[in-house]
Amino acid sequence: MQTTINHGVTLKSQNRVSDKKIKSTTMKKFNLTSVSIAAILLLAVACKKDNNNNGPVNPDANAQEFVASNAPKTQTMQIDASSLPQSVTLKGGTKITFPVGSLTIGGVAVTGTVTVEAVEVLKRSDVLFYGSNTNHSSGAPLASDGFIYVNVKANGTSVDNMMPVPMQISIPAKRSGVTQLWEGVDQGGNPLVAGAAAQMAWAAPRKGANGQGGGKEVASENSTFTFNFGTTGWINTDVFYSYSNPKTTVNVDLVGNPGTLSSFHSYSGETYVYFCAKGSNVAAQLYTTTGPNSVKSYDDVMPIGVEGKFLTFSIKDGKYYYGELESTITANQHVTLTLTETSEAAVQAAISSLDNY
């Protein structure tokens, strides 16, 4: 009996141990499974909330961030102003040479190490990504051969804008023939200063105190446009586009526009409107308002018979909108562009495709 009783007790004890192991293993599996299911459910809810409430997820939340991410970047280099001439070559192939006597502050020659700040805008996509344009100060569209920005600082102070001796600039030329030189100004023809209301335009270079203006026409030689230029700031090589064609005024209505017109380089506003000519590096910006959601070109400047693409894009509150219409310019044309929500990647792709349009 004792043996039987002991044996029975032993079996019961072993069974209880086995049951605990089974329950423990089962609970671990259940807990792990529960955590996995919970994580999946939370992810699904988060995705659903994002897709239903927030629209596409974009890295850049507004026009300022979009420009900062996508525009050509400022390149910085240092040179010794005490041993001019000195040259710098930018990433896109532009070469800038500062001759003896070119760098002054308040008329006094600069010495020691100075910092050259420069931006290259050499493709049509660069023009749009920077929030700039190829508008002549009259509003007439220009076909760009590339433009740059140049500033030189000594101990954080910019050198004199009007240079006593002009710098020499060589911009890569993608075509033969002659280009013309222009200086960046605002829509009123004044020197371009960053600000909430300023729009970009281009005017003939100012003449320096010694009479030098850098020349207006430059021929392509050795695959470059090489010229002297007497002021720092924005410098352009452009020609008038289809200048002999009859001209008209084009009006554009914006449907579904979520914001206000953006100023130069997105210092304010959210929405851009452009006309990009087919087969030519034209990026004519329309920024003259005729109503809350309508703009027009400058009067009688758009060449009739030119084929191209009207486009608009806007960035506001983390959402992106885009609209376009391919058309041939006609007399007194009235265009309607509808902005529909899309992703930042789609807007980037649309702008980049203009390089081959």
Per-residue pLDDT of the chain (357 residues; tens, 9 = 90+): 333 334 433 334 444 444 444 444 444 433 444 434 333 333 333 333 344 445 556 889 999 999 999 999 999 999 999 999 999 999 999 999 999 999 999 999 999 999 999 999 999 999 999 999 999 999 999 999 999 999 999 999 999 999 999 999 999 999 999 999 999 999 888 888 878 889 999 999 987 655 566 568 999 999 999 999 999 999 999 999 998 999 999 999 999 999 999 999 999 999 999 999 999 999 999 999 999 899 999 999 999 999 999 999 999 999 999 999 999 999 999 999 999 999 999 999 999 999 999
Q: Which residues contact 38 (CB under 8 A, 6 or more apart)?
A: none
Cα separations (Å) of 149 from 5, 97, 127, 194? 100, 14, 12, 13
**CA nearest 295: which of 244, 327, 266, 334?**
334
d(CA 158, CA 301): 36
Q: What's the pTM? A: 0.83
Tell me whether domains 71-240 and 247-356 share a fold: no
d(CA 289, CA 299): 12
Sign of the alpha-carbon torsion through 340, 282, 167, 173: positive
3-state secondary structure of 296: strand
CATH top-level class of 71-240? mainly beta
DSSP string, 37-101: HHHHHHHHHHHHHIIIII-S--S--SHHHHHHHHSPPPEEEEEEGGG--EEEE-TTS-EEEE-TT
Cβ 273 vs Cβ 252: under 8 Å: yes
Q: Taking the domains of the chain in order of start, what are their residue ranges? A: 71-240, 247-356
State whether CATH 2.60.40 applies to domain 247-356: yes
